[in-house]
Amino acid sequence: MVKTFQVYLSRNKCTYSCVHCRAHLADHDDLISKSFQSSQGRAYLFNNVVNIKTGQAEERYLLTGLHSVADISCESCKTTIGWKYEQAFESSQKYKEGKYIIELIHLIKENALDTSTILSDHKNSLMSKNFSSFAFFSHKSLANKKSLS
């Protein structure tokens, strides 16, 4: 069994990490675009990533045409988190070659101040629903305490 060592990115700037295991994946400086879509929802395009394993390339028809892509997975937890563009067959898509897509549901943004922001819209909506339930429960508990006194 081969032991792999993780790359740790600078704490002085924002980084993106795996939401499942918190392994660092990319610096904010390597973020190219937030305007990508995947089968799992929104995705980000990065110039460079770390702590990933790249699978075998295969041709896939994506929203922007035929591409040769390879799935990428987190080196630490082995979760498939996106893909790498190996080759674009249309000239307008050549800028993607050698770049990486990571799906938002697999990312967490760690700010330089070491506060974390979950990037998944789905998880944010779940958290706000839980907070609303908590606020409702707390309000009812407070009302019950006042009526008992």
Same domain, 144 and 96: no
In a domain, 7, yes or no: no
Amino acid at 3: K
Q: Which domain holds residue 149?
A: 121-149
> How many structural domains are present in the chain?
2
Q: What is the pTM of this model?
A: 0.72
Q: What is the mean pLDDT of residues 25-43?
A: 95
pLDDT (0 to 100) of residue 10? 75
Same domain, 93 and 127: no
What is the rounded CA–CA span in Å between residue 30 and residue 71?
Answer: 19
* CB 101, CB 40: distance < 8 Å: no
Residue 7 has pLDDT above 70, yes or no: yes
pLDDT (0 to 100) of residue 61? 93
Same domain, 83 and 71: yes
In a domain, 45, yes or no: yes
Same domain, 53 and 107: yes
The CATH number of whichever domain residue 82 belongs to comes to: 2.170.150.20
Same domain, 29 and 49: yes
Same domain, 86 and 110: yes
pLDDT (0 to 100) of residue 111? 81
Q: What is the pLDDT of residues 68-121, one digit of tens each?
A: 999 999 999 999 999 999 999 999 999 999 999 999 999 999 886 544 444 444
In a domain, 5, yes or no: no
Beta-carbon contacts of 117 under 8 Å, excluding residues fewer than 6 positions away, are 108, 109, 111
In a domain, 74, yes or no: yes
Residue 149 has pLDDT above 70, yes or no: no
